[in-house]
């Protein structure tokens, strides 16, 4: 099964980001996938987290608003 890293912008949308993460992570974990969560401090930090996850062969999930999705996509 694939391994995923969810990069979360904790300031995006109040609690919407956490709720979105749960909706995505739960079925992945139930299917046997590994899902780790990283919380970004800035867009540059999110980009670094995504780069490191990609180097480890993990699928990167951007959880937040358009900024994080576009910034690490």
pLDDT for res 15? 67
Distance CA 59, CA 46 (A): 14
The dotted CATH code for 3-72 is: 3.40.50.10330
5-39 pLDDT, tens digit each: 999 888 777 667 778 888 889 999 999 999 999 99
- Least confident range from 18-22, 42-46, 47-51: namely 18-22
Q: Where are the domains of the chain?
A: 3-72
- pTM for the full model? 0.84
Is residue 63 very low, low, confident or very high in pLDDT (cuts 50, 70, 90)? confident
Element (H, E) at 60: strand 59-63
State the chain's mean pLDDT as an integer: 88
Distance CA(61)–CA(4), nearest Å, equals: 7
């Amino acid at each position: 099964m694939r391994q995923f890293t969810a990069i979360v912008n904790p300031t995006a949308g109040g609690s919407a980001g956490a709720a979105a993460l749960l909706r995505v992570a739960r079925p992945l974990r139930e299917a046997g996938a590994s899902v780790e969560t990283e919380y970004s401090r800035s867009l540059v930090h999110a980009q670094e987290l995504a780069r490191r996850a990609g180097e480890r062969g993990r699928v990167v999930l951007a959880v937040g608003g358009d900024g994080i999705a576009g910034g690490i996509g």
